[in-house]
Amino acid sequence: MSGERVLIVDDSKEVLEILRFLILEPRGYRVLEATNGVDGLRLALTERPDLLILDEQMPGMNGLDVIRALQEQNAQIPTILMTAFGSEELVVRAFRMGVRDYVIKPFEPEEMLKAVERALAEIRLRAERDRLITQLEEANRRLQQQVQELNTLYSIGRSVTSRLDLETVLTRVVEAAVFLTRAEEGLLLLLDPESGDLVLRAAKNVDTKRAQEMRIRLQDTLAEQVLRSGEPLLIGEGQIKVVTGYLVYSLIYAPLRTPERGTFGILGVTHRTKARSFTTHDVRLLCALADYAAIALENARLYEETETARRKLEAVLRETDEAVIILDPQQRILLCNPAASAALRISSTDVVGRPAAQVISNRTLLDLFLNVARRKQSLYAEVLLAGGRTYNAHLTPVESVGYVLMMQDITHLKELDRVKSEFLATVSHDLRTPLTAIRGYVDLLEKVGPLNEQQREFVDRVRRSIAHIAALIGDLLELGRIEADYDLEMEPLHLESVIDAVVESFRPLLEEKKLTLYWEPKPLPLIRGNPRRLRQVMENLLSNAVKYNREGGWIAVSADQQDGYIIVRVADSGIGISPEDLPHIFERFYRGQGPEVEEIEGTGLGLAIVKSVIEKHGGRIWVESQPGKGSVFTFLLHTMEDNPPLFRPLNTAPGE
């Protein structure tokens, strides 16, 4: 290291020249000279050199006198003492007075250079220490400033996310902007959608009267540049006009923007009375605060929209006749409308926040709650409540909400269905007697006299019509029994055995129509069902597959296990079902339209019976078909290991 200033005090010109030109200046030291003690003391006090090389013997004022005088003036200058007459006593005195080193004349240049280096080592270390301390102090100051800025930003961010008082949040944002940028004034302006002007929403240190009147028209203004570009603006040269009569020396404008709304406002800070400038760091801080303000405004807008929607939803749920209960993912009640409260005889307010299982005692509903969490799919069931009312209950998982239970009062529909079933049973029973009489008299016609060919044809037509009506009456009675749960006792059974027995009974008919049958029975889990009714399902499906097939076609039957279900499919290569007929295929008395089906006999009740039986078993049936390419009827039933008897899946098949 070099560049230190060294003061040489010696009355010998030769010594001065040696020290200056041979030892010090070649190594970069800057040299001061004095030829006597008085001048040396004066230079030492005025110039304060980094090192003093002092001769001990000088006229007027010797070296030790100079050192003593410097100490009296509290001037701590590292000193090397030179002497031609060294003694132990002088050395002791010199070091006691604070001399760093002691050199005896004559000396070698290298010896003096080492003495200089040793003497300056301490001052160099002290200078380095002072430099590091200064750097640490500056770094600490910057760190404290950054911590203060971060604490302020964190506080604003917490206010944005935790407070709904928009005015307080915006005021805090403006105050933080003024504080962090050390500005004189701060203002937050929002775009008025009607006038297109910027209107002051919050301010700091702005005159109250001016704040009330502040409105910035955008044409050809700095604010317009920010709104148009969506970028911050920093200006700090000369006086700038914000609005008429409002001049500032420097300002920063930061845009308020969101992806949904674009730029809709400005956060600004200004120096109005003093010609101070802002920095790019101030711009970054202001942009962060502007983002917080934009988030607060967007949150307020969304909260208002949500509250409006919530109030509308509450009004709808309050006035609807359907019972509605909303549950969170842990099945705690979030909302219970008056209809549900009346139906279940619970309080619509006291139950909020409580688990549904604690406030609802109906066994069917409790089974729904238990199984919907496990199955993660919509379920439905008929629920009989106190007072004899029957409800159709739908429990549906809703993402990010939990579950929604809707219950429709179907008591009147059940009563109508009962009356209808009784009517059909009565009519069907009453029709059997005259049909029997008609059939008997038709059979007697040939016994009372010979019939010609045309008469025999008419009699055969009458017999076929009687058979058709009898089959129709039989199907009606059968459907009524199924819907009334008559003869529907359930027992554990292997469905593949039922299917195999039906398939074997159809083989002669299939051979007669030259149809190929594909069926490979495989072991399946037990189900709980009625073997007679399930046999009836397979007979109807296979009967349709035969009737609506083409000669030389095929029928494929399969039964597989998947996700706790047994899935049975009956596919054929028949004429198929038109898209217009497909939605109505399971309705009573419905038969497809078209020349292909006009000559095929049927009552229109076979698939209605199939659907009713499957639903009574807690399952579901559906069909897929294309005209001219055949149809696939699919039904599913729960296995006994996964067979809740009180609910049914809603509009969902495994794997769909």
pLDDT digit string (tens) for 36-67?
988 988 998 999 898 899 988 888 888 888 88
Residue 339 CB: number of other CB atoms within 10 A? 22
**pLDDT at position 488:** 64
What is the pTM (predicted TM-score) of this model?
Answer: 0.44
Per the structure, the count of domains in the chain is 5
Q: Residue 28 pLDDT > 70, yes or no?
A: yes
- d(CA 173, CA 156) in angstroms, rounded, equals 7
Cis peptide leading into 106, omega within 30 of 0? Answer: yes
Q: How are beta strands 240-243 and 246-248 bridged, if at all?
A: antiparallel
- d(CA 305, CA 303) in angstroms, rounded, equals 5
Q: Residue 139 pLDDT > 80, yes or no?
A: no
Q: Which residue has the higher pLDDT, 122 or 409?
A: 409
- Would residue 134 count as lying in a domain? no
Q: Residue 221 pLDDT > 50, yes or no?
A: yes
Assess whether 418 and 532 both reside in one domain: no
Task: Answer with the one of 483, 499, 532 that is the final residue of a domain.
Answer: 483
Q: Which residue has the higher pLDDT, 470 or 536?
A: 536
What domain range is 641 assigned to? 491-649
- d(CA 555, CA 285) in angstroms, rounded, equals 75
Q: Residue 630 pLDDT > 60, yes or no?
A: yes
Q: Using one digit for the tens of pLDDT, what is the confidence trace for 443-483?
A: 777 777 787 888 777 777 777 776 666 666 665 666 666 66
Q: Using one digit for the tens of pLDDT, what is the confidence trace for 153-177?
A: 666 666 665 565 678 778 888 888 8
Q: Which residue has the higher pLDDT, 644 or 173?
A: 173
Assess whether 168 and 40 both reside in one domain: no
Q: Which two three-digit tokens encode residue 284?
A: 């970054």
Q: Which residue has the higher pLDDT, 383 or 243?
A: 383
625 three-state secondary structure: strand
**Paired residues of 622 in beta bridges:** 634
Task: Answer with the one of 305, 337, 353 that is the final residue of a domain.
Answer: 305
- Would residue 206 count as lying in a domain? yes
Q: Tell me the H-state helices in 198-265.
A: 208-213, 222-229
Q: Using one digit for the tens of pLDDT, what is the confidence trace for 404-418?
A: 888 888 888 777 777
Assess whether 497 and 605 both reside in one domain: yes
Per DSSP, which regions of 192-261 are E strands?
Answer: 198-204, 215-216, 233-235, 240-243, 246-248, 250-258
Nearest residue to 239 via CA among 207, 216, 270: 270
**pLDDT at position 519:** 92
Q: Using one digit for the tens of pLDDT, what is the confidence trace for 195-215?
A: 888 888 888 888 776 766 677
Mean pLDDT of the chain: 81
Cis peptide leading into 644, omega within 30 of 0? Answer: no
Residue located via tokens 């009606």? 476
Q: What is the dihedral of CA 117, 123, 125, 129, to 10 degrees?
A: -160
Q: Using one digit for the tens of pLDDT, what is the confidence trace for 56-106?
A: 888 888 888 888 888 888 888 889 988 887 677 888 888 888 888 888 888
Assess whether 186 and 278 both reside in one domain: yes
Q: Residue 592 pLDDT > 70, yes or no?
A: no
- d(CA 591, CA 578) in angstroms, rounded, equals 11
Residue 109 CB: number of other CB atoms within 10 A? 13
Assess whether 201 and 277 both reside in one domain: yes
Q: Residue 632 pLDDT > 90, yes or no?
A: yes
Assess whether 496 and 642 both reside in one domain: yes
Q: What is the largest CA-CA distance in the chain?
A: 180
Average pLDDT value for residue range 304-315: 81
CATH number, position 14? 3.40.50.2300
**pLDDT at position 280:** 87
- d(CA 225, CA 233) in angstroms, rounded, equals 8
